[in-house]
Structure 1
Amino acid sequence: MNTQLDDVPEPERAGTATDWITTPIEPRILRGALDVERTAHGLLPHRLPARARKQFPDPFLAMMEAQPSGVRLAFRTRATALELDVLPTKRLYQGAPAPLDGVYELLVDGRPSGRASVTGGNVRVIDLTTGSMETRPGPPGTVRFTGLSADAKDVEIWLPHNETTELVALRTDAPVEAVPDSGRRVWLHHGSSLSHGSNADRPTATWPALAALRGGVELINLGFGGNALLDPFTARAMRDTPADLISVKIGINLVNTDLMRLRAFAPAVHGFLDTLREGHPTAPLLVVSPVFCPIHEDTPGPAAMEFDGQKPRFRATGDPSDRTRLTLNIIRDELSRITGLRAADDPNLHYLDGRSLYGEPDFAELPLPDELHPDPAGHRRIGERFAELAFGDAGPFAAGSR
């Protein structure tokens, strides 16, 4: 199968030998998004609903929730070729090298069948010293996949997990229809940049995507880089989203933002879980504590990001003698205590120590390249272990649990 990328100055292409059929991009063929926004260019998937987006003033969260980690187009077709016009918005830190282009992945009947990228697009330049953002406009582009079988098949196009993607047009050489409900369980997950997919090299290689594919479930990924902060609007969005399985990975962002003290942490966790239970009173609910991260194990935040030879690197700047401030070990102790307390009345609540996914021995073998995020091999290890511990026969998400 051949994968080809064509940049185009305008969304519409003309003069091809193929009789293309244009299919409107609508929520019926979109999975993993909680909301969509009609823009001047097309359809912008969102991972938080409009109500939630009105309740946060942080432009960084606005950028993160609009990056479509786990979002994919899904349809049934006999097409042998397809094109997707998109307008990406890439993130560039002032003084850092230009980012790599995001990856679009094609899955046919669940099997990897092609990858492509789009150059160009908008660039959002972020100045870390001032927090300011400037968007430089750029042209849309086209992702093209050819050489597909003419048989009826289920097609998924996973969107880049690390760049905003406005969907402009979908063209195929055969009709497209929505995929019938597979009956697979829906897994709703919330976490930090690790769950979002930082340093993963493609959208199906983030650890939640890897775990979902192994577990045979439909993923809704609410991992937001820098923004797993026990926000009430995120809890309400999860409460109102239909799901069979729910997990929340809590801790690292609370430390590296130095957002709250120990006194506020426990009530905030209880409140978040209470809100989830309002909408999902009996669904298996898994609370996951942070994976091993040496800079924050016993040193609080805030974290500072620097560029070492144009590569980002994080360091903890807090005072480790201040026991009112959160560290990863303090958070793990509190989460274990809170879930143990609540489990007496909630038998479907479970706790997983994040170090069982990535611990000190794993750091020795697969160190965090920027001191905070795993590399692609680290994502693979975490995804495989989560699949085993959560979806395995003895796990809280084992087959048959809802």
Structure 2
Amino acid sequence: MKQWYVTPLFLLFLLPGLAQVRFYDAVDFPLLGKINDSTETRYERLPASLKGISRQPVWELGKNTSGLALRFRTNSTSIAAKWKVLNDYSMNHMTATGIKGLDLYAWTNGKWQFVNSARPGGKSNQQTIISHMAAGEREYLLYLPLYDGVVGLQVGVDSTAFIGKPLLQLPSTQNPVVCYGTSITQGGCATRPGMSYTSILERKLNREVINLGFSGNGRLDYEIAELMARRTDAGLFILDFIPNVTLEEVQGRTATFIRKLRAHNPEIPILMVESIIFPHSLFDQQMFNTVTDKNKALRKEYELLRKTDRNIYYLSAATLIGTDGEPTVDGIHLTDLGFLRFSDALQQVVRRIIR
């Protein structure tokens, strides 16, 4: 009686999807977007030293990976990812891909070009992001989730392909832009991680942008100012906190927050940004009055600070998202259209400040 033996090569022929992708732990590749590396785990935004010091909501939001991005290069014709998220959050006004998915860009023709996103299915995920690409080595940028944490990440490439650290030092990590703010800064409600305004700005400037947006909690916490102040290599501080603070907090905390920023950074430019005029406030008069009163108060704070600090700049809400009322999902949080408009307006001012 004849016996048949299945060799590994024959098995590979029969099952073309098997053993064609090899996964590599992402810890081997550089990560953009961290204020420093002293975090409890790799994939989070606040240093361990703030545990028990920051308000609990701020600390927990610091474990969201908004603005963090992996850099690598490979000659693979396909790219996959395995990732596990911390909480498996869901919201009724934001896509799962934006909350807990991944977003891949490639450097081509002198710019970062969107490749595809990895859509999540739960806490543990595995997705082929792109396949059937022409052979050739490319550099990639992989954005992590906006509103969830990551507890494990692997990048998959063809089993015969090379994967390694990037050769291009882009986006540049020299003199990063550090953004502090609210849910809008964090990325609510972009459809995918690469469409938050900080991520768009990072690609447009080709410079690292550090996202310190805390949903509902951009409330001028002084320890965050002190944390930012320790980045004495920053090229610019952007402050976009108005939607989360009261009128009294604008008047009582803004100057102190900025003084703490200035403790080690007397020359680093600071850009103060008004709140967008929420489209639904055209009808909700209470909301309109609240936002405009806080913007006016911020302007007064700026004018007082500007008398003694010529490196403080101001961006009014007039041109941030347009006037057609279309760029939000709920009257407040931005869609991709809103984030594109916001980043375009921001970029014009930023380029004038940090030429």
CA distance in 1, matches of 2:300, 2:94: 44
Alignment partner of 1:61 out of 42, 58, 63: 58
RMSD over aligned Cα, in angstroms? 2.9
The partner residue of 1:197 within 168, 187, 193 is 187
> Any gaps of 5 or more consecutive residues in structure 1?
1-14, 122-139, 256-260, 301-315, 321-326
Q: How much has 1:161 moved relative to structure 2?
A: 1.3
- Give 1:287 shift: 0.5
Contact 2:220/2:254 (<8 A) preserved: yes
Point out the structure with the larger strand share: 1
Separation in 2 of the partners of 1:228 and 1:105? 25
Deviations 1:104-129 (A, max 9, x none): 111111221222112121xxxxxxxx
Q: Is 1:100 aligned to 2:96, yes or no?
A: yes
Aligned residue in 1 for 2:302: 339
Q: Which residue of 1 aligns with 2:275?
A: 290
Corresponding residue for residue 141 of structure 2: 156
CA separation of 1:97/1:267 partners in 2, compared to 1, >3 Å: closer, same or farther?
closer
2:34 partner SS: coil
- Are 2:72 and 2:163, in contact at CA under 8 Å, matched by a contact in 1? no
Write the distance in 1 (CA, Å) between the matches of 2:153 and 2:206: 30
The residue matched to 1:107 in structure 2 has which SS? strand
Residue 396 of structure 1: aligned partner: 353
Q: What is the number of residues matched between the two proteins?
A: 323
Alignment partner, residue 6 of structure 2 = none
| Partner in structure 2 of residue 46 of structure 1 | 44
More off after superposition, 366-375 vs 231-240: 366-375
| 1:174 is the counterpart of 2:172 | no
Contact (CA 8 Å) 1:36, 1:46: kept in 2 or not? no
Q: 1:98 to 1:254 in 2, by over 3 A?
A: closer
1:92 shift after superposition: 3.7
1:25 alignment partner, SS class: helix
Aligned-pair CA distance for 1:31? 0.8
Determine which structure has more spread, i.e. the larger CA radius of gyration: 2
| Partner AA of 2:345 in structure 1 | R
Residue 66 (structure 2) pairs with residue 80 (structure 1):
no
Superposed CA offset, 1:84-118 (max 9, x none): 3211232246xx69963433111111221222112
Return closer, same or farther for 1:29/1:148 CA change in 2, 3 Å cut-off.
farther
One-letter code aligned to 2:336: P
Higher helix share: 2
Q: 1:160-182: CA deviations, max 9, x gaps?
A: 21222222433443131254544
Q: Please report the TM-score for the alignment, with normalisation by the length of structure 2.
A: 0.80
Partner Cα distance (2:319, 2:94) in 1: 35
Give deviations 1:142-194, integer Å, cap 9, x for gaps. 23343445433221111121222222433443131254544454111111111
TM value normalised by structure 1? 0.71
Q: Alignment identity in percent?
A: 20
Is the Cα contact below 8 Å between 1:29 and 1:179 reproduced in 2? Answer: no
The answer (yes or no) to whether the contact 2:46–2:62 under 8 Å persists in 1 is yes
1:89-128 equivalences under 5 Å are 89-92=87-90, 100-101=96-97, 102-109=100-107, 110-121=112-123
Q: Secondary structure at the match of 1:106?
A: strand
1:111 is paired with a residue whose SS is: strand
Call closer, same or farther: CA 1:104–1:254 in 2, change over 3 Å. Answer: same
Question: Per-residue displacement from partner, 1:52-108 (whole Å, max 9, x unpaired)?
Answer: 2331342x3334222211111112333333443211232246xx6996343311111
Residue in 2 that maps onto 1:30: 31
